[in-house]
Amino acid sequence: MVPDPQKQTKMSVAFLLPDVSADPVVNLSLAMISSLLLDGPKAPLYQALLDSNIGSDYAPSTGFDNGTREPVFAVGLQVRKHVL
């Protein structure tokens, strides 16, 4: 099966955050804010980006990632080719 070339383009914007590994309250707060902004059809970024058909889905790196020393918040989309 050949992937659809219209769904192969991914774009992302990421923000480097300060080290929050020592503060679990801040870490949890950032994870919750990320979830509120991104998860589900009532989330503001979901409505703005996916419901408006700018993109077909989030890019794999989207959300709050605290797996590294300096965490990252990223928002990315699989972009339809006609948008570019």
**pLDDT by residue (tens digit) across 25-75?**
988 898 899 999 888 888 888 888 777 777 777 888 888 988 888 889 998
**Residue 6 φ/ψ region, left for φ over 0, alpha for ψ in the -120 to 50 degree band, beta for the rest:** alpha
- pLDDT at res. 82: 57
- Residue with more model confidence, 33 or 20: 33
User: For residue 20, is pLDDT > 80?
Assistant: no
